[in-house]
A and B are shown apart, each in its own frame.
Chain A
Amino acid sequence: MGIGIRLENVRKVYDTPPPMAARGAGFSFTPMRSGAPKEKKKKFEVVALDGVSLAMRPGEVFGLLGPNGAGKSTAIGILTTRTRPTSGRAFIGDFDIWQEQVKAKRLIGVVAQRPNLDFALTAREVLLFHGAYFGQNARERARRTDELLEQFKLTDRADHMVRTFSGGMMQRLSIARAMMHDPEILFLDEPSAGLDPQTRLLLWEIIRGYNGLGKTIVLTTHYMDEADTLSHRLAIIDHGKIIAQGTPQELKASIPGGYLLRLRFDRVTEELMAALRTLPGVTEVRSTDHIAADVYADRGGPLIAAIVNTAQAAAIELRDVHISEPSLENLFLHHTGRSLRD
C-alpha cells in the first residue's frame, strides 16, 4: 500500500513574483531594481528549482530540509498541482501531476505553510465541506469530522468561526482538513512553524500515526530535529538544488569525521594514541592535553568497548566518554559553508 512520488529534472523559474503560497516566511522575491532610472529595468527572474530529481517511496516520511527561500515550497507547489513546472515532470503514483491533476488531487492532502482556512465557515463546516468536495456522503462526513475534531482537540470550538481561532488552532484545523478525505499522501509545508512545543509534539505524534497507516508523508522544515526525528529519508535543498539526500543516519555519516568521541583518561601516552589510531573506523585521533583525546570515527557507541580494552591493555584508566553524534547542521555547513538558519 502507499503511493510514491517522483520528480524528474524539475525546473521552475518565476518571471513574476510568486503568490504568497510559494513564498517562504522570511524570504522575499523582491526583483532587482537598477539604481539609475535610465538603465533598462532588469527582467524579473527567480530560479526557484534548478533541475531537481527526487523519488519518495510509498509509505515513507520524506523530509525536505533547507533554509528559507531554498525552493521547498515551490517543490511542494509543483507536487500539489498548485505550481506549474517550467520544465521537467512530476508524478504522484503513475499520474503526471500536471497532466492528470484531478487524479493526483484525489490522492493528496495538503497543509500549507500558512493556514489558508475558509474564513467564512466554522471549524466543523471547514471539515464538512472539504469532505463534500471529495464526494464523501453526509454520514461519512459527519463521522470523520467528529473524529478529527476530537483528535485535534478542537471539539469545544467546533462551531466557532475559524477567523476567531488562534494561530495554533488554525494550524491544527488545517492538518485535520488535509486528512479529512483520507489521502494517500500528506504534504506538510513547515507544519510546526509557530507552534508551541506541546502542539509540536502532538503534531509529530499525529504524523507518525498517519504514517503508521501506510501513508506517504512529505514535509518541509528548517528545523534539524524535526527532519531528524520524523523522516525516514530526507533531501537537503539549497538554492533550488538537491545538495544531499538519504536517511538522516546516512547523511550524517557522510560528513568526514562523522562521530566525535571525547575521551578522558588518567593520563595519555603516545602508545595509547597509536593504539587508538589502529581501531576500526577511526579516522583521526588528537590529544587535546595530557589527559584527554578526541577521536574522530565513523561510529560512536560501538567503539567504546574497543577503547576500553585498548586503555586496559596500556594500563590506563578511562574516566569519561562523551559521544557527539554527527548532526545535519554540520552536514549543511559542510555542503554550503553556511549555517541552516542564515
Chain B
Amino acid sequence: MKARVHVMLKNGVLDPQGEAVRHALGQLGFDGVEGVRQGKVIELELADGTSEAAVAEMCEKLLANTVIESYSVEMS
C-alpha cells in the first residue's frame, strides 16, 4: 500500500519561492496569476495494514514542521 503526503506552508507564512514562481510566470506572459504557494508531495511505500494514524505521526514527528506547515494524507 501507499500513502501520499502533501505538505504546504500554512496561510500567513510568507512563501518567497512561491512568490518567485509567480513573478516568473508573469514574465512569461501568463497574466492573472494572483498567487503561488509551493509545497511538497512525499510518497510512502508502506507495509500492508499500516494505519493512517501511523502516517499522521510520521508527519508530526518528521515530514512536516507544524510550526509553519500543514499536511494532509491520502492512503491508497
A pairs with B = no
Residues on A facing B (Cβ under 8 Å): none
